Structure 1
Amino acid sequence: MSWLRSRGEDMNSIAVAIGMSKHGRALFAHRPMCAGECMIKFSQDLVLTPEKLPCEVIALLDQANEFTRVSLLVMAEKRKGQNSAWAPYIECLPSFGEIHSTIFWDPKELACLECSPIHRGTGERNALLQSEYREVKKVVESCPHLYDPDVSLEQFKHEYATVSSRAWGQGPHSDMTMIPLVDFANHDPRSRTLFSHADDNCTVVVASRDYQTGDEVHICYGDHSNAVLALDYGFVVPDNPFDEAEIFLEIPSEDPLREIKLQYMAQNNMNTLQDSNGTQTGGRPFTIMEVTSRGGKEVVVPSAARAFARIITSDSLADLEELNRESEVYGVVPFASRPRHDRRKEQRATNLLLALIEAHADEHKRAIQSLEATALRPERRYIAECVLQGELSLLLKASTSEIQRYGNDY
């Protein structure tokens, strides 16, 4: 706060104070505020953006994404020490080892989450970081006056995780920015606190509800599942209302109609995942989540997954042609707008979905049971448990809703 004051900021426009909560550093209201009132307002000069990198660094970067660019800016400012204009803020950023994002978990720890989509997501993120690190090495080796040329991959991952867990898609000139002070606020999925820019030169944060002096001020990092929070931020939320689960459907390689089914799907923009050669694999994941309907909230299997199941369980060319004709009559979502005319054929597709949901649920149960026998440190065991429990809950609800849906259709 003294740093903000020394930079000439109007402290009367900052209605929050920094304190400690059970989750670490946090923001608290230091006076009463009403919903819609400006709680933070300060100069855009305080914000870290990719454009503030030295010109020589910008010239060296080709494909680096904006998180990497801001990471390089933070690394350069760290190297300056107390000579950095952002030194008091940078000293408050997490130290190495304090972020529990799954990108830092070793293979044995990550194996606890093998049945969750976070396992694949973590692998993809680490592959991205390997690629971005090549850009970083090119820069740090070319600019030894700005960086330590021996920056390791693990050090870069820490800087990247620090930035990606704090950067916002804000600002008139940049997609990703780090906003000092604001990023001390903890996450609450129910918060609807708003960021805006009154003009090109200031950042504004508006209260989404009334606050009394001493109330903790939260912001929402996004409507993220625990899997996303664990990967991007290194924490989870109990009973997360935005949790998601996943099932994977695939046309068996031994299916004699496999190529024809793939053609039907391609014609209807239902492509499957591609392998390294660009060939359709015949499989793809589908996300299960809680949605709001006229009857309230319910967990549903996406119609695209049901369409895929109908294609997989078609057992003849004539059956596929019949399914295609039914789809043309109903329109909208290919193969998915209505249950099949033949109840027996619809039951086959439903049974496939139920079997997959049950198999995924059983995997999650076994993974949860095995957590007690693992050597995970407490913070990571808690993250793994919340991710797995949230997904398991959705899978169990999806199984029930799928049975009810079939009964209602017939």
Structure 2
Amino acid sequence: MATLFGILRRAAATRQYWVQARLSSTAASRQGELIDWVKVNGGSVSHAISISYPNAATGAGLQAAQACKAGDRLVHLPAHCQLTYGDNTSPKLMSLIEKVPQELWGAKLALQVLQERCLGTKSFFRHYISNLPVGVPGIPLFFSQDAIKALEEYPPLSQQVKRRCRWLVSFADGELADAASSSGDPFEGQRIDANMLGWAMAVTTSRAFRVRGPDKPAAQLPLIDMCNHSFAPNCQVFPGQDGSVDLVASRDIQASEPLLLSYGNLSNDFFLLDYGFLVPLNPFDAVAVRFDVAFFQAANALSKQKVDDEALDTVEDFQEALLAELKLAGPEADRELMVRRSLPSCSPRAVAAARILSAQDAAELAGRSAESLGQWKQAVSPINEVKALRMLAGVAFFVLSRFPATLEQDKQLLAGQSAGPLPDDMALAVQFRLGKKQLMAELLHDLANRIKALAMQPIGRQDSTAAAHHSTGNPGKRSYSTSTAAWTVKDVLR
């Protein structure tokens, strides 16, 4: 794997090839040429917007040159000015695109971008291509070994990075090498290596739109795709007639404000992997947890509820049926759960699973569907709810314990207290894993407050009777004292 990342890290040097291939003009003139290109080809660009170009590494952005009103159309882009693949793609290139796995949709579009790059001044999209960034430094594909190692503390992301790297090298050394040595090479005889393919994939995943729907090829939208992200955007993209696309102000915008779009309610996994940045305190961030009965029951034991070791990885028939309804059991199971920073935003399937596994018998869940069990406000009973919340707290604690470094250690690293300032990629990796730890810490705090609130609620006669019935259940089942009808949930917390 060291060799693999070394290959991609050399992109900084090989990307100089692309710099030399750019049109011989200044950044300002390239921007003006792009705006003129859109206008000449049937589009429109409002005089109220301008392109900001901080440096070649980070690429361009859009901002308001003067105040805009809500509803103003800022850019109109005809369908033929949207860079995508399909009917007009050469058969040779299309055969390569079809060999790319569907989950790597960005790589499919990347091949079309590379062809346009190789065409140089012959490309219809040459003015757009010349404005693309030279590098996408925040994308983990180009991280150092140390930064990748830091990401390995959170396997759901690091495994995706490694899979992409392996595919890039394999595809470049295989299919692309074969295409270069055959007739009809779609890349004008230029050798496309893993670096170049990685650069194009980073450019497409960080800029592409699904304007034609989720099942259709993605597209690069010149000018429009320069807008940066915000969960409180001031612009929106709307489909127009004949496949055109419009960028429209969604509120009044002041002069010099950046034009912002929402890339979606995404977790920081997606933002880092595809866009190369993180959103601090992202309300949509999550920690991926793989559901396993033994894992959840071990978390239950960790929360100081008494569990027989023999009970681990075993469930009753009624529990198995409800877990299958949640697709957490059975041959078609999808066991990935997205756990968030508070119970209301937590995965409904995670909440439902905890309530199901905390139930004493089928009667306790009678009349409840798996879907309703995932609605956090609809507890089964105070006793069941405390047990379920403690189980979820155990899961969160387990996740935290798997990180070798603590929250404080990561904060010290970022502050430069350990070994001085971190390289940019290492800082991003540490910020990413720190965010996951903070998320789990906040969830634990929320669960603790909810358990404490429940502990103050007295249990009615019906609940105490049910608890007494449960205490005489099957051997190995959890049992609780019911010596008095006036007991409270505090008994469960002991």
The alignment's TM-score, normalised by the length of structure 1, stands at 0.79
Structure with the higher fraction of residues in strand conformation = 1
- 3-state SS of paired residue (2:448): helix
- Structure 1's 217 and 399: CA in aligned 2 closer, same or farther, altered over 3 A? same
2:349 counterpart residue number = 304
Q: Output the CA distance in 2 between the equivalents of 1:147 and 1:5.
A: 27
Q: Which residue is equivalent to 1:29? A: 64
Alpha-carbon shift at residue 162 of structure 1 (Å): 1.0
Change (3 A) 1:255 1:78: farther
Question: Partner of 1:392 in structure 2?
Answer: 437
* 1:198-347 mapped onto 2 (5 Å cutoff): 198-200=240-242, 202-252=244-294, 255=310, 258=313, 260=315, 263-264=320-321, 267-271=324-328, 284-289=335-340, 300-310=345-355, 319=360, 322=361, 324-333=362-371, 339=379, 341=381, 343=383, 347=386
- Matched with 1:295 is none
8 Å Cα contact 1:44/1:200 also seen in 2:
yes
Aligned to 2:116: 77
User: 1: CA distance between counterparts of 2:421 and 2:218?
Assistant: 33
Taking the aligned partners of 2:228 and 2:283, their CA distance within structure 1 comes to 17
Identity across matched positions, percent:
20
Per-residue Cα deviation, 1:312-334 (whole angstroms, up to 9, x for no partner): 567xxxx4xx1x33223233537
Q: CA deviation at 1:402?
A: 1.4
Q: Aligned in 2, Cα 1:308/1:185: closer, same or farther, shift over 3 Å?
A: same
Partner of 2:225: 183
Deviation at 1:221, TM superposition (A): 1.6
Deviation at 1:79, TM superposition (A): 1.2
Question: Which residue number in structure 2 is paired with residue 108 of structure 1?
Answer: 146
Instruction: Please say if 1:165 is aligned against 2:206.
Output: yes
Deviates more, 1:25-34 or 1:234-243: 234-243
- CA separation of 1:61 and 1:43: change in aligned 2, threshold 3 A: closer
* Higher mean C-alpha deviation, range 158-167 or range 216-225: 216-225
Tell me if structure 1 keeps the 8 A contact 2:52–2:62: yes
| 1:154 is the counterpart of 2:185 | no
Q: Is the 8 A contact 1:226 1:243 kept in 2?
A: yes
Alpha-carbon deviation of 1:269? 3.4
Find the counterpart in structure 1 of residue 157 from structure 2. Answer: 118
Q: Which amino acid aligns with 1:258?
A: D
Taking structure 1 as reference, are residues 251 and 266 closer, same or farther at Cα in structure 2, changes over 3 Å only?
closer
- Report the residue type matching 1:170 in the other structure: V
- Separation (CA, whole Å) in 2 of partners of 1:63 and 1:238: 37
CA distance in 2, matches of 1:381, 1:60: 34
Q: Distance in 1 between matches of 2:176 and 2:130?
A: 22
Distance 1:304 1:60 in 2: 39
Q: What is the distance in 2 between the residues matched to 1:3 and 1:303?
A: 47
Question: How big is each residue's C-alpha offset from its partner over 1:167-207, in whole Å with a ceiling of 9 and x where there is no partner?
Answer: 10114894410011112222222105221232115321101
CA spacing shift, 1:383–1:351, aligned 2, 3 Å? same
Alignment check: 8 A CA contact 1:268 1:334 kept:
no
Q: Check conservation: 1:140, 1:146, Cα contact below 8 A.
A: yes
Secondary structure, in 3 states, of the residue corresponding to 1:396?
A: helix
CA distance 1:170–1:33, shift in 2 (3 Å): same
Paired residue type of 1:166: R
Q: In the TM superposition, what are the counterparts of 1:48-87 in structure 2 within 5 Å?
A: 48-51=83-86, 52-59=88-95, 61-64=97-100, 65=102, 66-87=105-126
| Separation of aligned partners in 1, 2:370 and 2:107 | 41
Q: Report the residue type matching 1:220 in the other structure.
A: S
Q: Deviations over 1:337-362 (max 9, x none)?
A: 6545583x654443332233234335
SS in 2 for 1:386: helix
CA distance in 2, matches of 1:85, 1:230: 31
1:100–1:233 contact (8 Å) kept in structure 2: yes
Distance change in 2, residues 1:236/1:408 (3 Å): same
- How far apart in 2 are the matches of 1:239 and 1:32? 30
> What is the alpha-carbon distance in structure 2 between the residues aligned to residue 290 and residue 342 of structure 1?
22
- Could you tell which deviates more after superposition, 79-88 or 169-178? 169-178
Tell me if structure 1 keeps the 8 A contact 2:144–2:425.
Answer: no
Q: Of the candidates 79, 87, 102, which is equivalent to residue 44 of structure 1?
A: 79
Decide whether aligned partners of structure 1 residues 366 and 249 sit closer, same or farther in structure 2, where only a CA change above 3 A counts: farther
Instruction: Tell me which moved more, 332-341 or 117-126.
Output: 332-341
8 Å CA contact 1:301–1:402 kept in 2: the answer is: no
Q: 1:215 to 1:355 in 2, by over 3 A?
A: same
Structure 2 unaligned residues grouped into runs of 5+: 1-31, 296-308, 458-494
Gap change, CA 1:163 and 1:145, over 3 Å in 2: closer
Aligned residues: 389
Q: Deviations over 1:67-98 (max 9, x none)?
A: 333211111111122222222221222225x3
Tell me if structure 2 keeps the 8 A contact 1:165–1:233.
yes
- Check whether the contact 2:59–2:133 (CA below 8 A) recurs between aligned residues: no
Q: Say if 1:225 and 1:242, in contact at 8 Å, map to a contact too.
A: yes
What is the correspondence of 1:123-142 to structure 2 with a 5 Å cutoff?
Answer: 123-126=162-165, 129=168, 136-137=176-177, 139-142=179-182
Structure with greater Cα Rg: 2
The gaps in structure 1 that reach 5 residues or longer are: 292-297
